[in-house]
A and B are shown apart, each in its own frame.
Chain A
């Protein structure tokens, strides 16, 4: 792969002394043809740089999966029905912070948080309402839930039971990626090693009982949002994936039994070509790692499937309509990079959760990409672009370097315990902010092209009534449930946590007894304790 030396004195004047990507990567003026030996294999062929399907999107378009959730289960159920009626092809549940942290609405730390950033789910009764009138055999559902993933997944499984849908017919994803919580998003409860046990228990359970379910979505999204560069997002995510596979193998699972159900989740950020190259690099590194490092035999283990979401962090509160343009371009990069499923952000998300109109426009953006631009008619349209191939090679090398460094630390859990990825990300975040501050990184409407008077946009204002309504619902559930079976089931959870039995069966029992999420998470807190990070700034 060749790039030409920087401009010489005789070259025409350029706008800047150096051209960089948003991640700070220096870019040459022009790229030359790679040598024939570097030409990537065809789409659908190992190592899948050009895509996991020989037919690209000709066989099946990406899934248009819009993340949504707010207030009570009734309100969110209504939004889901709207999104499905508008042509959305999958559901994606956003939970509120108390749910993400395994706290009941009555806990002091839940103050003001119930139903704010997502939907509040406390017991099985809430999950029943959330999916009322939505046949779980006919939709695929992604649930963004991590520390309490096993409990929330168990609730979903019991709702399927009630609807008469066999678990083998269910398809969807639980995020279940605790490592990126320690690294970036910080919604962790238990210490890393105990948390990993919960994850491997869900791997084993899914492999046996819910074979079409993605038991994890290894996520770079939040790592990028926290400030990582493209290379760091790629590297830390893939290294997290390696950690999960290693823990699964160490727990006695056969790699080809669970690796095919590992999916990924990447950010679709603003630097167009670097993002496309990132997805291509991700596929080729993962395929090679799975085959050569873990000895996976099944091509389903080698193929990296990923969801992408446009970059929330790139959205601006200033001139919010500009965000429609940002999102469309980011979404285009994800599609050109072969995303298997996509969420497009709404224009108002730097201000609040999206209104229904804004969410619809975001979905329409994907539909226009799919049906009007022609980009879905050809696999890997940018394959062979000198620039994209060079970037793909660079990102691959950088990811492998980081992976080797983390291997040398003893793996990702060990690296997290010493604060390595956290520090790298904080450093990148600060560097980016300084570039913005100095005006080297232009953000239209924020530090350049500023408008003096902007008309306000209408936002979704979430009032505080969800707290009260959820508290009332919970009271009525508690009045109806059999307290003795709840206690018995929670004991079962504690016993399994202290021993080595798979935690999913006792968690399912607790869910069926209408134990609250807080009660189930507390049972594990009693056995495992809670994690507190050492602060890195």
Chain B
């Protein structure tokens, strides 16, 4: 089976990248191919990276409260590009009241502070599209 390919991205203006980097490493150690975009990526850049890298999953790290703006835009662009089957998960500081709306637009996993790395690894492995090798 080929490796799961994951784009880890930090959208918005925030530079707190500890979580994004730690999870990037944990996914890599779990055998995935991880592409970390670096900081301050627009939704357009993130979707372009997913397209170019043939990503199976996208992990967005958002701590600043901008998720309600960034996530819908990412999902819309993915649909436009025909990348509906890419698994999208979000990690960060997300108020409980916002989670249902994120799920509604197609974000499959929302991971809050304190989530074990293994839980995120398992979730991605369990929910990613199956790839024909």
Task: Give min CB distance, B92 to chain A, whole Å.
Answer: 11
> Is B15 within 8 A of A181, CB to CB?
yes
Minimal Cβ-Cβ distance residue in A for B38: A535
> Is A537 within 8 A of B39, CB to CB?
no
Residues 140-168 of A at the B interface (beta carbon under 8 Å): none
Minimal Cβ-Cβ distance residue in B for A100: B13
> Is A537 within 8 A of B15, CB to CB?
no
Complexed CA–CA distance, A529 and B17 (Å): 23
A-B contact count (CB 8 A): 109
> Is B38 within 8 A of A352, CB to CB?
no
Choice from B12, B24, B28, B34 contacting A111 with Cβ under 8 Å = B12
> Is A97 within 8 A of B14, CB to CB?
yes
> Is A430 within 8 A of B25, CB to CB?
yes
B42 within 8 A of A: yes
> Is A446 within 8 A of B114, CB to CB?
yes
Q: Which residues of B contact A326 (CB under 8 A)?
A: none
> Is A317 within 8 A of B95, CB to CB?
no
Complexed CA–CA distance, A304 and B68 (Å): 43
Residues 1-40 of B at the A interface (beta carbon under 8 Å): 12-18, 21-22, 24-26, 28, 34, 36, 38-40
Complexed CA–CA distance, A366 and B93 (Å): 26
A80-109 CB mask vs B (1 if < 8 Å, else 0) is: 000000000000000001101101000011
> Is B96 within 8 A of A111, CB to CB?
no
B70-98 CB mask vs A (1 if < 8 Å, else 0) is: 10010000000000000000000101110
Q: Which residues of B contact A533 (CB under 8 A)?
A: 38-39
User: Chain A interface: which size bin?
Assistant: 35 or more
> Is B15 within 8 A of A186, CB to CB?
yes
Task: Give min CB distance, B91 to chain A, whole Å.
Answer: 12
B64 within 8 A of A: yes
Q: Which residues of B contact A436 (CB under 8 A)?
A: 116
> Is B21 within 8 A of A426, CB to CB?
yes
> Is B93 within 8 A of A113, CB to CB?
no
Complexed CA–CA distance, A3 and B38 (Å): 44
Residues 34-53 of B at the A interface (beta carbon under 8 Å): 34, 36, 38-40, 42
Q: Which residues of B contact A426 (CB under 8 A)?
A: 21, 25
> Is A537 within 8 A of B64, CB to CB?
no
> Is A108 within 8 A of B42, CB to CB?
yes
A169-204 CB mask vs B (1 if < 8 Å, else 0) is: 000000000000100011110000000000000000
> Is A317 within 8 A of B25, CB to CB?
no
State which of A277-285, A456-464, A476-484 sits at the interface with chain B. Answer: A456-464
Minimal Cβ-Cβ distance residue in A for B40: A109
Q: Which residues of A contact B95 (CB under 8 A)?
A: 351-352, 459, 461
Task: Give min CB distance, A209 to chain B, whole Å.
Answer: 31
Residues 37-71 of A at the B interface (beta carbon under 8 Å): none
Minimal Cβ-Cβ distance residue in B for A110: B13
Minimal Cβ-Cβ distance residue in B for A109: B13
> Is A316 within 8 A of B113, CB to CB?
yes
Task: Give min CB distance, A463 to chain B, whole Å.
Answer: 10
A409-453 CB mask vs B (1 if < 8 Å, else 0) is: 000000000000000001001100100110000010011000000
A485 within 8 A of B: no
B66 within 8 A of A: yes
Q: Which residues of B contact A117 (CB under 8 A)?
A: 14, 64-65
Choice from A97, A226, A443, A446 contacting B13 with Cβ under 8 Å = A97
Choice from B36, B42, B67, B69 contacting A537 with Cβ under 8 Å = B36
> Is B24 within 8 A of A537, CB to CB?
yes
Complexed CA–CA distance, A226 and B22 (Å): 10
Complexed CA–CA distance, A459 and B93 (Å): 12
Choice from B15, B26, B28, B69 contacting A112 with Cβ under 8 Å = B69
A307 within 8 A of B: no
Residues 268-323 of A at the B interface (beta carbon under 8 Å): 313, 316-318
Task: Give min CB distance, B74 to chain A, whole Å.
Answer: 12
> Is B114 within 8 A of A318, CB to CB?
yes
Q: Which residues of A contact B34 (CB under 8 A)?
A: 537
> Is B70 within 8 A of A111, CB to CB?
yes
Q: Which residues of B contact A111 (CB under 8 A)?
A: 12, 66, 69-70, 73
Choice from A108, A225, A535 contacting B18 with Cβ under 8 Å = A225
> Is A456 within 8 A of B15, CB to CB?
no
Given contacts A103-B13, A109-B40, contact A116 B64 (CB under 8 A): yes
Complexed CA–CA distance, A462 and B97 (Å): 12
Task: Give min CB distance, B107 to chain A, whole Å.
Answer: 15
> Is B15 within 8 A of A185, CB to CB?
yes
B117 within 8 A of A: yes
> Is A447 within 8 A of B93, CB to CB?
no
Residues 93-133 of B at the A interface (beta carbon under 8 Å): 93, 95-97, 112-114, 116-118
Task: Give min CB distance, B35 to chain A, whole Å.
Answer: 10
> Is B114 within 8 A of A443, CB to CB?
yes
Q: Which residues of B contact A461 (CB under 8 A)?
A: 95, 97
Given contacts A100-B13, A317-B114, contact A112 B21 (CB under 8 A): no
A350 within 8 A of B: yes
Q: Which residues of B contact A225 (CB under 8 A)?
A: 16, 18
Q: Which residues of B contact A443 (CB under 8 A)?
A: 114
Task: Give min CB distance, A412 to chain B, whole Å.
Answer: 18
A227 within 8 A of B: yes
Residues 316-360 of A at the B interface (beta carbon under 8 Å): 316-318, 350-352
Minimal Cβ-Cβ distance residue in B for A107: B13
Complexed CA–CA distance, A414 and B38 (Å): 21
Complexed CA–CA distance, A459 and B96 (Å): 10
Could you name 14 residue pairs across A and B whose Cβ atoms are closer than 8 Å?
A97-B13, A97-B14, A101-B13, A110-B13, A112-B67, A113-B12, A186-B39, A316-B113, A352-B93, A429-B22, A430-B25, A462-B65, A535-B38, A537-B24
Q: 12 extra interchain contacts, Cβ-Cβ under 8 A, other than A430-B22, A533-B38?
A: A97-B64, A109-B40, A111-B66, A111-B73, A112-B69, A113-B12, A113-B66, A226-B16, A317-B114, A318-B114, A429-B18, A459-B95
Q: Which 10 A-B pairs have the closest CB atoms?
A: A186-B15, A112-B69, A112-B66, A97-B13, A116-B65, A446-B114, A317-B113, A535-B38, A537-B21, A101-B13
